[in-house]
Amino acid sequence: MIKVGSGPKINYRFCNGCGICYNDCPSDVFAWDDEKGSPIVAYPEECYHCAACDVGCPEEAISMMVPLHCLLALNLYPEI
């Protein structure tokens, strides 16, 4: 299912704090929470939806939220 929104969303129930998303993001969307030992989405507006974080996450803890205008430009329609 395609989710409408903007940028990555982290499901912390599955996140193991490996840091792959934090290290691999070309846009520096993520920051690191030292206290919790996990990434946080600090700059979702900087995301250009390359999905490197989503694809690279070994725990499948990241979902990529795609803006509606991008979906419509690709003739993809979200489920309502």
pTM for this predicted structure: 0.79
DSSP letter at 9 equals: E
From CA 7, how far away is CA 5, in angstroms rounded? 7
pLDDT in tens, 4-63: 677 899 999 999 999 999 999 999 999 999 999 999 999 998 998 889 999 999 999 999
pLDDT in tens, 66-79: 888 887 888 877 66
* Domains, in order of start, for the chain: 7-73 (3.30.70.20)
From CA 79, how far away is CA 22, in angstroms rounded? 30
Identity of residue 15: C
From CA 75, how far away is CA 13, in angstroms rounded? 33
Reduced to 3 states (helix: H, G, I; strand: E, B; else coil), residue 31 is strand
Q: What is the pLDDT of residue 45?
A: 87
For 6-67, where are the alpha helices, taking DSSP H only?
20-24, 52-56
